[in-house]
Amino acid sequence: MLTVNELALESDTPAHVVRYYLRIGLIQPAAQQENGYRLFTSHDAARLRFVRMAKHLGFTLNEIKQITQHAELGESPCDDVRKIIQHRIHENRAKIEEMMKLQERMEQALEQWDLMPDGIPDGNSVCHLIESVEGSEGHCHTET
Amino acid sequence: MLTVNELALESDTPAHVVRYYLRIGLIQPAAQQENGYRLFTSHDAARLRFVRMAKHLGFTLNEIKQITQHAELGESPCDDVRKIIQHRIHENRAKIEEMMKLQERMEQALEQWDLMPDGIPDGNSVCHLIESVEGSEGHCHTET
DNA sequence: CTTGACCTGTGTGTAACACACAGGTTGTAG
DNA sequence: CTACAACCTGTGTGTTACACACAGGTCAAG
């Protein structure tokens, strides 16, 4: 029987993360000591390693919970797994593109600001650097 | 004097977001009606537009709060603004790279799974698709 | 027995909203 | 003037995946 710390070492997971997974019911202790300490088996360690693999592949903890619950009922989670990752691929692609746009905005701004001095704020302006960025007046609307 | 809804329209911001900004003290109402409704001036609308610009440039709401507070004390926030965005550029670049790695992992997995059938879980395996992914046994450790 | 190091469970904080809810306001019809 | 519907109001709570803090428990050394 393993303690939380031992389970953490066994599954290459920070102990406080293991405790978080316990808290949300993603994993359950196999047994409990009289003093309230949780105890685990090597089966639990394998389960936790699975959780980490799935997370590394982009699954959310909620999705992983669903998957393991399905699996415990004997139902194959594979179909859901395929669907989820397809969805996640689209989602992630969109997010990456958005972040690259942001990156460009930031780099352009910083470059533009190189030629500008610092300013002292008055009632009208808070920070003329930020306010000088393109899209201030005629608001370009690039939203989701 | 503008109501929350009018301020939202005026500054091209969803009303529930305006309320959130009020709640965290990022913006303050200029006045209050007897029934508790908040009232704003066009100056508040300009302030809120500034907030949106800064957010569009990647500043967090906390940073924007600091900036406006500095500005209200008459101190120039420009120096901080430059530093923050430099830091954010690095941060964002790292995040993008990480997400691109995830993207590759997901796409490789999905491709690999094309050749694999769904499986029925037993006690040892939860989902053989996920478990089949490279890096299952020898854990590649790419952490922050 | 005591000291210190370490480990335990759990409460709370984080970022930036999204949603829900009970009540208030306003416009229109009768 | 009233009834009703549409909309707007402030605020409580839920979200994700932890990170940190805290009071107390455990264990080995001395």
Distance CA B101, CA B143 (A): 12
Percentage of chain B beyond pLDDT 70 is 93
Would you say the C-beta of A101 is within 7 Å of strand C? no
List, as one string, the DSSP characters of B51-108. Answer: HHHHHHTT--HHHHHHHHHHHHTT---HHHHHHHHHHHHHHHHHHHHHHHHHHHHHHH
Contact yes or no for A41/A55 (Cβ under 8 A)? no
pLDDT band at B63 (very low <50, low <70, confident <90, very high): very high
Contact yes or no for A85/B110 (Cβ under 8 A)? yes
Distance A30 CA to D5 C1' (A): 57
Inter-chain CB proximity A110 and B81 less than 8 Å: no
- CB < 7 A to strand D: residues 115-144, chain A: none
Distance A67 CA to C15 C1' (A): 28
Would you say the C-beta of A56 is within 7 Å of strand C? no
Distance CA A104, CA A110 (A): 10
pLDDT band at B121 (very low <50, low <70, confident <90, very high): confident
Q: Mean pLDDT for each 10-residue chunk of chain A (144 residues)?
A: 96 96 96 94 96 97 95 91 96 97 97 92 88 66 40
pLDDT by residue (tens digit) across A73-114?
Answer: 988 899 999 999 999 999 999 999 999 999 999 999 999 999
The residue ranking higher by pLDDT, B56 or A143, is: B56
Which residues does chain B have within 8 Å of residue A102's beta carbon, measured at their own beta carbons? 58, 92
Which residues does chain B have within 8 Å of residue A70's beta carbon, measured at their own beta carbons? 121
Q: Tell me the β-bridge partners of A32.
A: A38
Strand A38-39 relative to strand B38-39, pairing? unpaired
Which residues does chain B have within 8 Å of residue A79's beta carbon, measured at their own beta carbons? 118
Given this model, what pLDDT does residue B143 score?
Answer: 40
Would you say the C-beta of A28 is within 7 Å of strand D? no
A20 touches chain B (CB under 8 A): no
Inter-chain CB proximity B126 and A50 less than 8 Å: yes
Distance CA B144, CA A49 (A): 19
pLDDT band at B139 (very low <50, low <70, confident <90, very high): very low
Residue nearest to nucleotide C8 (CA to C1'): A37
Contact yes or no for A91/A99 (Cβ under 8 A)? no
pLDDT by residue (tens digit) across B70-119?
Answer: 999 999 899 999 999 999 999 999 999 999 999 999 999 999 999 998 98
Would you say the C-beta of B36 is within 7 Å of strand D? yes
